Structure 1
Amino acid sequence: MLSLLGAVCGLLSALVMALLYWLIMSLSHLFMAGGSEAFESLPIELRAVIPIVACFILAVIFTLLPSKLRSVGVPYVVERLNYHQGILPVLNAVVQFFTVAISLIGGLSVGKEGPAVHLGATFGSYLAQKGRLPQYGVETLVACGVAGAIAAAFQTPVAGVLFAFEVIFIEYRMGMALPVLLSSVVGMLVSEYLLGSIEIFDIDHLSTAQFTPDFFLACLALVGFIVMLAFLFLKVQKILWRIGKVSVWWRFSLVALVTSIVAIYLPEALGGGYDSLLSLLSGQVLISSLLVIIVVKTLLTSVSIGLGIPGGMIGPTFVIGGLAGAQVAFLFDSVLPHNHEMALFILLGMAAMMAACFQAPLTALIAMIEMTHTSEVIVPAMLVIVLSCLIMRLLFRQDSAFVQRLEYVGLSSSVSPFRRYLRHHTVTSVAEPVVVLPAHESIERLKDLGSSVVDYVAFESDGKWMLARREAVLSALQSIHFGPPPFLVVDDDRILMDLTKALDYTPSMVIPEPTSLEKMLAWFQTSGRADVLVAIKQGDKMCLVSRRQLDQFLLKDN
């Protein structure tokens, strides 16, 4: 069931990603030729005005929207997973879809991959709710949606799976592997069918890495450059988070002003930036301006994301890292052994930047292998990825950008092992079966309880549920042999037992089946009751759950 729903998640994630691509391309072609990011081809006046118009539209939308619908993006997905049982409202995803399209059409320096993660996760959450799945199923389908979205965006299925585990759940969950892998494969296949093969740049001349002293020195220089850019990228955002309470008009106006100035003097830094990388590699921009483009792109993306523009940062970090790799290749061009080291160093820069910003080393490594369809990049990529992650974490004390965002607002990016254990078990783990009877039951039916192994019976009287032990019913039946008791009633020539008069019972509450033991424990803590009847979703059955059974389950040795 989970694998089937996971495949559906992958399909929906790829479809919405293709729809987002189509929307951006179609609207961009209305005023721009040469691709959705060819802003340098526009007149200066037009490309300076477009970001202002986009920010104005976004400010109007966010002003009219209620506050609960303004939360979007990857941090919001993690928050809903950890604090709201993975329930992602559909309207927030709708807001995410259209606002990121406006941002990218307007040339704002954000990416579409992060919003795709939000959209894919929402599909998974919606399917889990409709399927009335337990908490473990909800989390699995959210992971399926995330993996399918990343696989569709980059056509890297394994990297999509690792992204879900490393970035969203911050732990590897092998129990989810099969549905998530299936979702990722379906997402990639549908993306290839609808969008064709996504090639960020030509890798026909990717050289084999030879670890000469000069090559090793160039890798160390790349690591140092990437670490500085990643630290700048995160630090600027953290500074701007402090003014998050300022009116959206002030914040978006500042983004519009900065982006408009950049559009006049450096249009290559606008949008997602992949076209800028291709332009640089083809020699359309002077090499001397490359460092300026890198710094401006880093600052512009940080300002846009830090001030609340509804876009992603996964794509821009890829571009920034790729540009940084090109810069290092230019600097060491005279000492590197091959003439085609640029493509290799661009790949290394992309992998290192992603790993440093999101602390996702395996995702970055596998993404590079899947994007290039070659293993030549593995060893040098591992070197720059590991060093970049270690320096960011140990020297600069920087965690993932998403983790830091959640910590800034006082939220945790992960759940404790105890809560995770509770979430992965349903109430059936601690439930005792209950035989549900009518308040007036036939003697023949009650005699069948003698061969039953169920300890409790439940019946409803005057709109209230009562709970009694099976032995009490059998004792009442035995008393019939000593004369007609007062609890027998006759109905259409049938002899029935009035359970309300025959048994010693206790009133009990009935609640719907919780999605996990975490919610069951929370109910006991809130209500203060010792036990409760739970209506099982499947099969219209009922069971008894007691706080004593729950405690024994949690304290058992195994």
Structure 2
Amino acid sequence: MSETSPSTPNEVSGEPAPDALRRAGRFIANSFHDGRTPALWLLGILVGIVAGYGAIGLRLAIQGVEFIALADLAPHISTAAVELDPMAIILAPLAGGCIVGLLLYVGEKAKWLTETRALGIADVMEARAVRAGKMQAMPGLLSSVISAVSLGSGVSAGREGPAVHLGATLATLLCRPLGLPARAARIMLGCGAAAAVAASFNAPVAGALFAFEVILGHYALRSIAPIAAASVTGAVISRIHFGATPAFAIPEIAPASIPDMIAVVPLGVLAAGVAIPFVIGTVRGTRLVADQAGRLSWPLWALPPIGGLVVGLIGAFVPEILGVGYEATAKALAGGYGVGLLVGLILVKIAATVITLSFRFGGGVFSPSLYLGAMLGAAYGALVVGLLGEDSSGVAFFAVVGMGAVSGAVLGAPLSTTLIVFELTASYEASIALLVAVSLATVITTTVTKGSFFHKQVERHGYDLTKGNARVILQTIRARDIMTPVGKNERLGEMDEPHVYEDDYLGRVMGFFSAEKLDGAPVRTRSGEQPIVGYISKADAHAAYARALQTAHEEEHR
């Protein structure tokens, strides 16, 4: 018998088998370089399936932990807490904090979590802008476990942020063997995020728009088809398993009157008044707690039990602030709270969420911002209804508008939140009113805070995404990427000779040339005797900057 050798022709193609496989591999790889190819669309559907099931899995994991901790499932946490012994409510977040602390410790020692915290939407945005759309698997998966334990134990945060991060992580993990180019990898991040949002809210249009507005930061035509396919797929998967019902009950919205539409304008200003302290408190609270822990030589992984105890004590007296908060949000939309209690819940929810995130629990701000907006809108609506009487459409109208206005201002995503409200309510008038309110709230909030909540988080790593690609390019390209290497026999050179280092960013290199009035300089390494490893000219630096800008421009507009 003769064995088939590597040079034996393939029976179908007539080519040697390895050559046929290599050609097939090159064809598949090349097909992803053009975002309009059906291959990328089909990959978007596959990512939508994986990310959709990831969001469902996270939701079920949260409910499972909550059933163990509080003997009830997630949507009814505040009702279940009322019937529990207050000590059980206090101990549940404390125990959850101990488990989260252990997970953070493991992540820190294994070098999976470089900052001793669970990751979220801001890290997806940073991966898109800085790391060519690539994310690491273990940090993402561990962050999802941390978030499931955190939210299941009853602390105050949202599940959508962890779901988006998990969706993006799974997208990267799925596509890694394909060796996608940077543009396709970034599109797949958007696909994972879109599917996660769509699966969470049963809102496929809003899921796709969220990916464009928050993750990608542009609306390029080549990205539309794969992201739309992923978003619709995620929503379909959610509806198969949970039905077509929204994430929480929305009452029927009565037609809005002209006085109602006018009254929306002050509500937008008030929404900014809630969003601003929430964003500032969360960002500064995280930094303040970390600084204080450093002064006390207290490891960051040991913070969650402390935060859990504090949130548990608050929840024992105000159970409405526990968990994701959808039950309390739905009750506010239905007009189930008085004005005084609504105002109190806003203040306590802000405090509880700031404590939760500052003490290193996992979770997001999407659900808390919806909660705060619903409470604000319901309180404001009760006052408007008292003034207008039958001329008003009712509390639910203003509660829905407030819900979208606060969340849109916090997230920096006014269009996405408007569409989420439209898909949840099917009310055109409420969506128009919300567009007015969220525009006001977003402009005022971002003017004061200098960016959305996610932008402020990314700034911790020194990247300012509010200035667009021009600033990011200067912060990501390094001298080693554009220098002309020199041979090993080149001179070491005098150390006092003007030079740059190989790990200097492009912005520093260009600033150095301008300050020193130089047309070029040697490039040194920082190790050993710091020998010269290359040379970079001013023309090289400017040419690299121009090429990167052109590439970014083409990606955003084609």
When normalised by structure 1's length, the TM-score is 0.72
What is the CA deviation profile of residues 487-531 of structure 1, one whole-angstrom value per residue up to 9, with x for unaligned ones? xxxxxxxxxxxxxxxxxxxxxxxxxxxxxxxxxxxxxx998599x
Partner residue of 2:211? 164
* Deviation by residue 1:34-88 (Cα, 9 ceiling, x = unmatched): 6552322322111111111111111111122224424511112222222322221
Going from structure 1 to structure 2, the CA distance change for 1:181 and 1:551 (only over 3 Å counts) comes to closer
Matched letter for residue 243 of structure 1:
V
2:133 corresponds to which residue?
Answer: 86
Q: Residue 251 of structure 1: CA displacement?
A: 3.1
Aligned partner of 1:472 in structure 2 is none
Higher fraction of helix: 2
Aligned counterparts of 2:72 and 2:289: Cα–Cα separation in 1? 37
Query: What SS does the corresponding residue of 1:334 show, helix, strand or coil?
Result: helix
- Distance in 2 (alpha carbons) for counterparts of 1:339 and 1:310: 40
Q: Which of 293, 297, 303 lines up with 2:345 in the alignment?
A: 293
**Structure 1, unaligned runs of 5 or more:** 424-524, 531-545
Q: Deviations over 1:1-20 (max 9, x none)?
A: 11111101111111111112
Instruction: Say which of 274, 277, 299 aligns to 1:229.
Output: 274
SS of the residue 2:154 aligns to:
coil
Distance 1:320 1:346 in 2: 10
- Match for residue 190 of structure 1? 237
- Partner of 2:361 in structure 1? 309
Deviation at 1:378, TM superposition (A): 2.5
SS at match of 2:410: helix
Aligned residue number for residue 20 of structure 1: 58
Distance 2:133 2:396 in 1: 40
Whole-Å separation in 1 of the counterparts to 2:458 and 2:544: 32
User: Could you say which residue in structure 2 is the equivalent of 1:99?
Assistant: 146
Question: Are the aligned partners of 1:255 and 1:307 in contact in 2 as well (CA < 8 Å)?
Answer: yes
Deviation at 1:97, TM superposition (A): 1.7
- The one-letter amino acid of 1:25's match is Q
Give the alignment partner of residue 82 of structure 2, picking from 33, 40, 47.
40
Per the TM alignment, residue 316 of structure 1 is displaced from its structure 2 partner at its CA by 1.2
Q: For 2:256, what is the secondary structure of its paired residue?
A: coil
Give the whole-Å Cα distance in 2 for the aligned partners of 1:95 and 1:367.
Answer: 29
What percentage of residue pairs aligned between the two structures are identical? 26
Question: 2: distance between equivalents of 1:127 and 1:316?
Answer: 31
Work out whether residues 39 and 107 of structure 1, in 8 Å CA contact, stay in contact via their aligned partners in 2.
no
- 2:96 pairs with 1:54: yes
Cα distance in 1 for partners of 2:263, 2:167 equals 38
Matching residue within 190, 193, 208 for 1:146: 193
* Contact 1:236–1:303 (Cα < 8 Å) also in 2: no
Identify unmatched segments of 5+ residues in structure 2: 1-38, 294-298, 477-522, 526-532
Partner of 1:11: 49
Shift of the 40–178 alpha-carbon distance from structure 1 to 2, 3 Å rule, reads same
Q: Return the alpha-carbon distance in structure 2 between the equivalents of residues 398 and 553 of structure 1.
A: 29
Pairing 1:238–2:277 present: no
Worse-matched range after superposition: 306-315 or 152-161: 306-315
- Residue 124 of structure 2 contacts residue 168 of structure 2 at CA under 8 Å; is this kept in 1? yes
Contact 2:267 2:380 in 1 (8 A): yes
In structure 1, give the amino acid aligned to 2:71. M
Answer yes or no: is the 8 Å Cα contact 2:156–2:323 preserved in 1: yes
User: Which stretch shifts more, 79-88 or 399-408?
Assistant: 79-88
Are residues 359 and 550 of structure 1, via their aligned partners in 2, closer, same or farther at CA, if it must alter by over 3 Å?
A: closer
Closer/same/farther in 2, CA of residues 224 and 163 from structure 1, 3 Å limit: same
Separation in 2, partners of 1:114, 1:267: 22
Q: Which moved more, 1:216-225 or 1:81-90?
A: 216-225
Question: What is the alpha-carbon distance in structure 2 between the residues aligned to residue 205 and residue 136 of structure 1?
Answer: 42
Residue number in structure 2 paired with 1:117:
164
CA–CA distance in structure 2, aligned partners of residues 408 and 179 of structure 1: 31
Over the residues paired in the alignment, what is the CA RMSD in angstroms?
3.1
Shift of 1:286: 4.9
For 1:181 and 1:341, locate their aligned partners in 2 and report how far apart those are by CA, in whole Å.
35
| Structure-2 separation of matches of 1:109 and 1:399 | 23
Q: Which residue identity is paired with 1:17?
A: A
Amino acid of the residue matched to residue 422 of structure 2?
A: I
CA distance in 2, matches of 1:343, 1:159: 21
Residues 98-154 of structure 1, C-alpha deviation per residue, up to 9 Å, x if partnerless? Answer: 111111111010111000111111122223321111111111111111111111111
Instruction: Report the residue type matching 1:159 in the other structure.
Output: A
Distance apart, 1:235 and its partner CA: 1.5
User: CA–CA distance in 2 between the matches of 1:173 and 1:132?
Assistant: 22
Shift of 1:287: 4.6
TM superposition shift of 1:237: 1.7
What is the CA distance between 1:554 and its match in structure 2? 8.0
Deviation at 1:277, TM superposition (A): 2.1
Deviation sequence 1:352-395 (CA, Å, 0-9, x none): 0111112211111111111112312122111101111122233x
| 2:396 corresponds to 1:354 | no
**Aligned partners of 1:332, 1:113: CA distance in 2, in Å?**
32
TM-score (norm 2): 0.72
Task: Quote the Cα distance in structure 1 between the aligned partners of 2:545 and 2:303.
Answer: 50
Letter in 1 for 2:270: F
Contact in 2 for aligned 1:55/1:255 (Cα 8 Å): yes
Preserved contact between residue 221 and residue 328 of structure 1 (Cα < 8 Å): no
Residue 382 (structure 1) aligned to one of 430, 435, 444: 435
**1:171 CA displacement:** 2.7
Partner of 1:130: 177
2:387 aligns to what SS in structure 1?
coil
Corresponding residue for residue 25 of structure 2? none
Taking a change above 3 Å as real, the CA distance of residues 293 and 161 of structure 1, as seen in their structure-2 partners, is: same
In 2, Cα distance between the equivalents of 1:555 and 1:218? 44
User: Residue 370 of structure 1 corresponds to which residue in structure 2?
Assistant: 423
Name the structure where strand makes up a greater proportion of residues.
1
Query: Would the alpha carbon gap of residues 306 and 29 (structure 1) be closer, same or farther in structure 2, given more than 3 Å must change?
Result: closer
Note the C-alpha offset of 1:413: 2.7
Larger radius of gyration: 1
CA distance in 2, matches of 1:146, 1:162: 10
Q: Specify the alignment match of 1:398 in structure 2.
A: 450
Q: Structure 2: which amino acid aligns with 1:244? A: A
Runs (4+) of structure 1 exceeding 6 A deviation are 418-421, 549-556
For residues 272-295 of structure 1, give each alpha carbon's deviation from its aligned partner in whole angstroms, at most 9, with x where no partner exists.
111112344567655532211111
- Counterpart of 2:96, as a letter, is A
Deviation (angstroms), 1:188 = 0.3
Which residue identity is paired with 2:190? A
Assess, with a 3 A threshold, how the Cα gap between structure 1 residues 284 and 363 changes in structure 2: closer, same or farther. Answer: closer
> Which residue does the alignment assign to 2:24?
none
